[in-house]
Amino acid sequence: MQFKTILTLIGLAGLLALPVGAAPTPPDSVLLDMQQAFKKGDAKRLATLLPQASGHVLQPWAAYWALRARLDSATPDEVNEFFRQYQGTYQEDRLRNDWLLLLGQRRDWANFAVVAPDYRMNDDREVRCYTLAMENILARVDLADEVKTQWYSQKDAGDGCALAAQSHFAAGQLTEADIWLKARLALDAGQLKATRQAVAIVAPDASTALNEALSHPERFLLKQAPSSQRQKQELAVLALIRWADSNADSAAQALSSRWSKHLSSAQQAWAWGAIGKEAAQKLSNDALRYFNHAAPDGMSDEHLAWRARAALRQHQWRDVLNAITVMSPQTAADATWVYWRARALLQADRSEAEHQQARQLLQGIAGVRGFYPLLAQEELGLAITPPETPTPLTPLEKDNAKNNPGLQRALAAISLGLRPEGVREWNYTTNLHQRGGMSDRELLAAADLACQHAVWDRCINTSERTRSAIDLTQRFPMPHRQAVVERSRAIGLDPAYVYGLIRQESRFITDARSGVGASGLMQVMPATARWTAKKIGLTDFKPNQITERDTNIAIGTGYLKLVLDDFAGSMPLAAAAYNAGPGRPRSWRGSSGERVVEAAIWAENVPFAETRDYVKKVLANTTIYAAMITGQTQSLKARLGLIGPRDAGSSDNQELP
């Protein structure tokens, strides 16, 4: 009997086994076809397939795709019918978000006002800005403070926040200074479109001058006659910010010799902050000197962060404290700056009262929740050990999670290969926007459900959101334990270090693939995989094997070992090399004659935000995994060590990709 015939008979047997009157469950292939049609924007194909998805557990996704693909031409009645049919689901709120954005773009405030009150996610800045714009346009409600909060935090050029700013500026509720501040923030973040958008509000006739300031800042600054006119001053500040991005030293020279006497103290402070930031990101020893040309209270939080980092590199603790003290309360409350503020207050030249204040600051963040909490724990002389495991989940708590429709759909989507959709629905369900979020016990139960299904990223991320109860077995799972431990120990690697890296790289998703092409548990790039395979003796390696668990672990650990050896066993340097390539951390070590610093200071000064975050998380992960594997207290500081320029007599492995 042919294989196709057997499958046909199996299918018929399944249909005959259904209860009388029961409809067969739609095949998963329908959902997969619909997702592909949605990606292609094929509304006709989606409309054809939609009836076939009726009754599938992921039917809400099918209906969402079908309507979202033609939302531009949908009627309010069609949209409202979707809201009614899928009330309470993620898909309803997702479409409400999309519909509100469209209504805002159309300036259809009548329908916007009807739909907006039922929007539960409330996490889309553009939707919120459209709401602020609507209330100001229709009723002249002064919401300028929130407009600034939303607009300043937005890095890209959004229509909603720009509209809210425009309407409040026209009503006299935002000032010229408010608008120019947005232009500076946007340019500091490298967002040229958002910069132009802001300047168009306050100086619509300045587009030609602005284009020159952004395209040829050095020419603009040298040919423009310094002026006390506000618009020319602000354009000069923007040109200085832009020039500093490519040549901080030249921008500093232009500011000090030609422009400083024609700018206000606030404008000068911002310009020096931008110049200092660029110099600090290049690890220039001139950075702190540039920062010190102006009072720190005229700089942005981003400037102040780099001012503090530059001061840390030079062990200028008073400057560290001065920068952190004037940060916004929200930024200063971050564990990073709480820790370094405490360290500055603990210096020998500070008073006993300041030492006591430092200990209180450290006590406020100490724990196992991350890099700086772990360092604070050690600074207080407290052991880094796993916290007490929460009371075991009850059968009822587990059943409630298992029977949650949103979690069921999320797991079904992930198992079907629709990971982005499943992750979004999982996050929405565990956030439960409509009633303030899950309790710790509910989060632990949801995390447990994800663990049981080996959906490790949702297990980890969900458990990390508990506020008081901490279950490290959920937050730091150890799947593939035998394969990881045996391979690590066989080549002389600490298994905790490997686990710490895998947790950060892939969250244990074996088929994970990054946007740049890295694959598998250890996120290995194709070229690196080929090179490493030869180095470790995998002569029969084929590119399609990279997502095979054991092959990926062998290549990933093999490369990590080579990198670790090249950096003389320094875990922070090796982690940075694994993430950014070995050439960059070599240059980040500094040149001969520079001081040796704590690795925590070195890590905080890594110029790339992604790599800076990566190094800290991998080392924190490693410390926790070591405590769990050994059952003994651990030291993050010992793993970090000290970092300075490479010894003159040592040689780099230039082969390392």
Enumerate helices (H) and strands (E) in the chain, giving the number of each.
39, 2
Give the angle 190-195-197 at the CA atoms, nearest 5°.
140
Indicate which residue of 234, 421, 425, 505 is catalytic: 505
Dihedral, 472, 473, 476, 482 alpha carbons, nearest 10: 150
Give the angle 438-95-52 at the CA atoms, nearest 5°.
100
Determine what percent of the chain falls in helix, strand and coil, rounding each to the nearest 5. Answer: 70, 0, 30
Whole-number Å distance between alpha carbons of 74 and 341: 55
212 is catalytic: no
Please state at what angle helix 59-68 crosses helix 405-415, rounded to 10 degrees.
Answer: 80
Whole-number Å distance between alpha carbons of 270 and 234: 11
Nearest alpha carbon to residue 83 among 72, 95, 75: 95
Tokens of 564: 């670790």
Whole-number Å distance between alpha carbons of 285 and 405: 57
Within 255-297, residue ranges assigned H as helices are 265-281, 287-291
Buried b (16+ CB within 10 A) or exposed e, 324-336: beebeeeebeebb
Distances from the Cα of 643 to the Cα of 116, 534, 586, angstroms: 53, 31, 11
Beta strands in 11-95 (DSSP E): none
Q: In the 3-class helix/strand/coil scheme, how is 311-333 assigned residue by residue?
A: HHHCCCHHHHHHHHHCCCHHHHC
> How many other β-carbons are positioned within 10 Å of the β-carbon of residue 576?
29
Tokens of 99: 């519909």
Secondary structure class of 9 (helix, strand, coil): helix
**Cα-to-chain-centroid distance, residue 625:** 23
Whole-number Å distance between alpha carbons of 531 and 525: 10
Tokens of 563: 């990198």
Instruction: Find out whether 499 and 621 touch, Cβ atoms under 8 Å.
Output: yes
Buried b (16+ CB within 10 A) or exposed e, 212-224: bbbeebeebbeeb
Whole-number Å distance between alpha carbons of 291 and 289: 5
Distances from the Cα of 116 to the Cα of 6, 70, 103, 111, 127, angstroms: 54, 21, 10, 9, 9
Within 536-635, residue ranges assigned H as helices are 549-566, 571-580, 583-588, 599-604, 609-630
Residues with catalytic annotation? 505
